[in-house]
Amino acid sequence: MMTGLHVRDLVTEFHSRSGVTRALHNISFDVGANEVVGVVGESGSGKSTVVRSVIKLLMPPGRVMEGTAEFDGQDLIRLSERQIRQIRGKEIGFVAQNPFSALNPVVRIEKQFANIAKAHGLKVDTESRARALDLLASSGVNDPERVMRGYAHELSGGMAQRVVIAMALYLNPRLVIADEPTTALDLTVQRQVLDTLTRLTKDCGRSMLIVTHDLGVVANYCDRVLVMYRGRIVEQGPVSEVFVRPQDPYTVSLLNSVVQPKAAGTAHPTELSESRSI
């Protein structure tokens, strides 16, 4: 049994009265154990559709037509709604773009942690509560006790997303999937929240698939990168190769678009981020 996530020939379409849109064309990629894989590409290229197809959170009229997404020996695509629910939250943690859509506005944060445990048949006791408090603290939530007693609307966007991250990691998932987890947040806290998410994921030897439009984030945090364009992966590989010697013209233009050219002709992808560490 291979560990990690192995997606093969995924084809996803949106069917409506006005016709069929093929949003994904034979997508194949792997997320190995302990690996952080970034997904980049312009808006509408299919990044969210990949993520949502894999974890069965695709909204109608979206439909996976072909392909497999093998995770620890089973094909997620073919699981029933009930089976995927057992995996989501427990084996695979998900962090969406908008934290407030992931939090229940009328249920105290503490109760929401408890509900996650209960949904997976785990007992709720002082130990599980302590674990939630620990995770909130390591996610950068000040005064976790107070946050646990409160409601989502009392939190800033950055704090709410930190709570969602703690919830996503609560049951120790082996894989964390994040879809532009900080785009809804203030610029000043975006990097901090991403730092937290990747640090907590990597420190525990989990793997991660992270969608982002921020190539600096990929340069800093990801081992490998998938470049999407119009529903296809046009290039994928180690960040150190793809960003330094891009092979596809779209990757080249994507990298050039974020480089600050000092003078005509001197722009180079290695100037991508002052703090990159590849």
Ligand X SMILES: Nc1ncnc2c1ncn2[C@@H]1O[C@H](COP(=O)(O)OP(=O)(O)O)[C@@H](O)[C@H]1O
44 binds, among Mg ion, ligand X, none (CB under 5 to 8 A by kind): ligand X
Helix 109-119 with 157-169: angle, nearest 10 deg: 20
What are the angstrom distances between the C-alpha of 3 and each of 53, 89, 152, 179, 197? 19, 18, 35, 22, 21
21 binds ligand X (CB under 6 A): yes
Q: Which residue has the tokens 């197809």?
A: 53
Instruction: Compose the 40-59 pattern: x for residues touching Mg ion by CB under 5 A, - for all others.
Output: -------xx-----------
Pairs from 150-154 (Cβ < 8 Å, separation ≥ 24): 150/108, 150/109, 151/105, 151/106, 151/107, 151/108, 151/109, 152/99, 152/100, 152/103, 152/104, 152/105, 152/109, 153/105
Asked if 40 and 251 touch (Cβ cutoff 8 Å), the reply is no
Binding partner at 4 among Mg ion, ligand X, none, C-beta below 5 to 8 Å by kind: none
By CB under 6 A, tell whether 49 contacts ligand X.
yes
Q: Largest Cα–Cα distance in the chain?
A: 63
Would you count residue 101 as binding ligand X (CB under 6 A)? Answer: no
Q: Which stretch binds ligand X (CB under 6 A): 42-50, 64-72, 158-166, 254-262?
A: 42-50
Binding part of the chain for ligand X, among 45-53, 181-189, 235-243, 245-253 by CB under 6 A, reads: 45-53
Residue type, 203: D
Binding mask 5-44 for Mg ion (x = CB under 5 A): ----------------------------------------
* Closest CB to ligand X among residues 23, 135: 23
Rounded Cα gap, residues 225 and 148, in angstroms:
36
Closest to Mg ion by CB, 42 or 72: 42
Interaction between residue 183 and ligand X (CB under 6 A)? no
- Rounded least distance, CB 97 to Mg ion, Å: 7
- Which member of 44, 238, 249, 261 binds ligand X (CB under 6 A)? 44
The item of Mg ion, ligand X, none sharing an interface with residue 93, based on CB under 5 to 8 Å by kind, is none
Taking the complex as a whole, the smallest distance from the CB of residue 228 to ligand X amounts, in Å, to 6
CB of 211 to Mg ion, least distance (A): 6
Question: DSSP secondary structure string, 66-113?
Answer: EEEEEETTEEGGGS-HHHHHHHBTTTEEEE-S-HHHHS-TTS-HHHHH
Out of 11, 14, 150, 191, the residue judged to bind ligand X by CB under 6 A: 14
Beta partners for residue 13, in sequence order: 22, 63
Structure tokens at 37: 């894989």
Applying CB under 6 A, which residues contact ligand X?
A: 14, 21, 23, 41, 43-49, 59
Applying CB under 5 A, which residues contact Mg ion?
A: 47-48
